[in-house]
Chains A and B, each alone.
Chain A
Amino acid sequence: MDWGALHTILGGVNKHSTSIGKIWLTVLFIFRIMILVVAAERVWGDEQDDFICNTLQPGCKNVCYDHFFPISHIRLWALQLIFVSTPALLVAMHVAYRRHEKKRQFRKGDQKCEYKDIEEIRKQRFRIEGSLWWTYTSSIFCRLVFEAVFMYAFYFMYDGFRMPRLMKCNAWPCPNTVDCFVSRPTEKTVFTIFMIAVSSICILLNVAELCYLLTKFFLRRSKKAGNAKHHPNHENKEETKQNEMNELISDSCQNTVIGFSS
């Protein structure tokens, strides 16, 4: 049980995401979770053991370490990744709810229901429109907020993104101001900057996705208003053609992303 379980949960959401959403998911899993697990955890693994203070006073090292690292970088990143991935579950729940409603309609024998069997409902990919659009947009907004909050918390707690080599500490029971040395400060700085850069890229992707969804929403609205005026029946044919094109584009992107991430 580890990050793989989160991958399984979010993989299901991938099917209903936009192309930018799928790129975001790939960046999340490859450049953040994977880097955290295979590299960052090793770098921060010995952080307290190798945090050395220039004193033999028992307890001074513990207290100074706690003072300078109230919460370790690695744990903060883990929490950030969990919180940032969770809004996607809102979409997964909404999709599951819609599927449940369609299955109920199908079982009742509703003639409006256009599916031939339950399997088709299970495999169906829902388009991002109507209430699902609102859920999806809210989830992107939540993701943005969480990313921003965690980046700010990081900056605030560690006074920037650099890891200093030396810290001066005079918390009790240290007898006076002692020098404490952090282990692997340069490597930690490099990884910190890398994770911050990838967070920023994820923020940009989320902003782009939000703009794309909003643009699509307003375009669709103006098109509907225009079509309703001039061609009451024509809009359906045009929309169907556009839908097919969108499906083709997103399916080809999905195949690329799935191939890449597996």
Chain B
Amino acid sequence: MSWGFLRDLLSGVNKYSIGIGRIWVAVVFIFRLLVYIVAAENIWKYEHDEFECNIKQPGCENVCFDHFFPVSHISLWALQLIMVSTPSLLVVFHVAYREKREKHHNQKLYKSPGDIDGGLLCTYLISLILKMGLEIVFLVLFYKLYNGFKVPRLVKCDIRPCPNTVDCFISKPTEKMIFLYFLVATSCLCIVLNLSELSYLIFKYSIKCYLKRYIKKCQ
């Protein structure tokens, strides 16, 4: 079980996505998942080992690291990727439910089980709203946990057992900051894509509904 599972999930989701949704899948795949795996993971690999405090007191480094990094950037990033990809499963389940229903009744109930209309449209819209919500939640979490998206070179720590205020140095802060900004930029791009898709779908189906009603009235 590894990131290959998420890759297969996203490929499956791509089948039932429309227009902007497919661009969203491509952005998540290439600019978030691939960048995470080939670049970001290695930067944070030895973050604890390379975190150095100007003191020999046993336990001080551990305690300070834990205080400044309650959840590592990279773990939060991985969680974000997984959570943000999951709402699309709602659409996949709904399509599977439709196909099962058709099989059960042994007749064609829908124009095509994968067509985004009726109940499936509601599910698709809900999944978009959930994706956006989760992206925003994680961005806010990142901002609150680490006081912005900057990674300082030096942090001052005075938690027991450190005998007084000691200087602790974070490894590769500039590189980490560059990739954090990259993460934020791609998250924002994904939020914009989801918002555009939501607006487009609502607009399209409102016009469709309105036209249907208008034609009925004329008749």
Residues of A within 8 A of B (CB): 1-3, 5-6, 9, 48-49, 57-59, 61-63, 65-66, 69-72, 74-75, 78-79, 82, 85-86, 89, 93, 96, 173
Instruction: Decide yes or no: A70 and B26 within 8 Å by CB, A78-B39, A173-B167 being known contacts.
Output: no
Q: Which of A5, A57, A70, A75 contacts B39 (CB 8 A)?
A: A75
User: Do the beta carbons of B54 and A59 come within 8 Å of each other?
Assistant: yes
Residues 11-54 of B at the A interface (beta carbon under 8 Å): 22-23, 26, 29-31, 33-35, 37-39, 42-43, 46, 50, 52-54
Residues of B within 8 A of A (CB): 2-4, 6-7, 22-23, 26, 29-31, 33-35, 37-39, 42-43, 46, 50, 52-55, 153-154, 167-175, 178-179
CB within 8 Å: A-B pair count: 97
User: Do the beta carbons of A65 and B172 come within 8 Å of each other?
Assistant: yes
Q: Which of A70, A82, A173 contacts B31 (CB 8 A)?
A: A82
CB-based nearest A residue for B182 = A79
B3 CB contacts on chain A under 8 angstroms: 1
Q: Which of B6, B30, B175 contacts A72 (CB 8 A)?
A: B175
User: Do the beta carbons of A70 and B178 come within 8 Å of each other?
Assistant: yes
A93 CB contacts on chain B under 8 angstroms: 22-23, 26
User: Do the beta carbons of B50 and A1 come within 8 Å of each other?
Assistant: no
Docked complex Cα distance between A41 and B53 (Å): 29
Q: Within the complex, what minimum Cβ distance (angstroms) separates A2 from chain B?
A: 6
Instruction: Decide yes or no: A58 and B52 within 8 Å by CB, A63-B169, A71-B175 being known contacts.
Output: yes
B167 CB contacts on chain A under 8 angstroms: 58-59, 173
User: Do the beta carbons of B2 and A173 come within 8 Å of each other?
Assistant: no
Which of A49, A75, A85, A96: most chain B CB closer than 10 A? Answer: A75
CB-based nearest B residue for A2 = B37
- Provide a sorted-by-A list of 29 A–B residue pairs whose CB atoms are within 8 angstroms: A1-B4, A1-B6, A1-B33, A3-B34, A3-B38, A5-B34, A6-B30, A6-B34, A9-B29, A61-B52, A62-B52, A62-B171, A63-B153, A63-B154, A63-B169, A66-B153, A66-B171, A66-B172, A66-B174, A66-B175, A69-B172, A70-B174, A72-B172, A78-B35, A79-B39, A82-B38, A89-B26, A89-B30, A93-B22
A49 CB contacts on chain B under 8 angstroms: 46
Q: Within the complex, what minimum Cβ distance (angstroms) separates B202 from chain A?
A: 22
Instruction: Decide yes or no: A2 and B38 within 8 Å by CB, A58-B54, A59-B167 being known contacts.
Output: yes
User: Do the beta carbons of B37 and A48 come within 8 Å of each other?
Assistant: no
Instruction: Decide yes or no: A82 and B169 within 8 Å by CB, A58-B52, A62-B52, A89-B26 being known contacts.
Output: no
Q: Which of A6, A9, A62, A79 contacts B170 (CB 8 A)?
A: A62
CB-based nearest B residue for A96 = B22
Instruction: Decide yes or no: A62 and B35 within 8 Å by CB, A5-B29, A71-B178 being known contacts.
Output: no
CB-based nearest A residue for B35 = A82
Docked complex Cα distance between A217 and B36 (Å): 40
A71 CB contacts on chain B under 8 angstroms: 174-175, 178
Docked complex Cα distance between A72 and B38 (Å): 13
User: Do the beta carbons of B7 and A1 come within 8 Å of each other?
Assistant: yes
Given contacts A58-B53, A62-B50, A82-B35, 17 further A-B contacts (CB under 8 A): A1-B6, A1-B7, A2-B37, A3-B34, A6-B30, A6-B34, A48-B50, A59-B54, A62-B153, A66-B173, A66-B175, A70-B178, A71-B175, A75-B39, A75-B43, A78-B35, A78-B38
Q: Which of B6, B55, B171 contacts A65 (CB 8 A)?
A: B171
CB-based nearest A residue for B53 = A58
Which of A5, A48, A79, A173: most chain B CB closer than 10 A? Answer: A5
Instruction: Decide yes or no: A69 and B175 within 8 Å by CB, A5-B29, A82-B30 being known contacts.
Output: yes
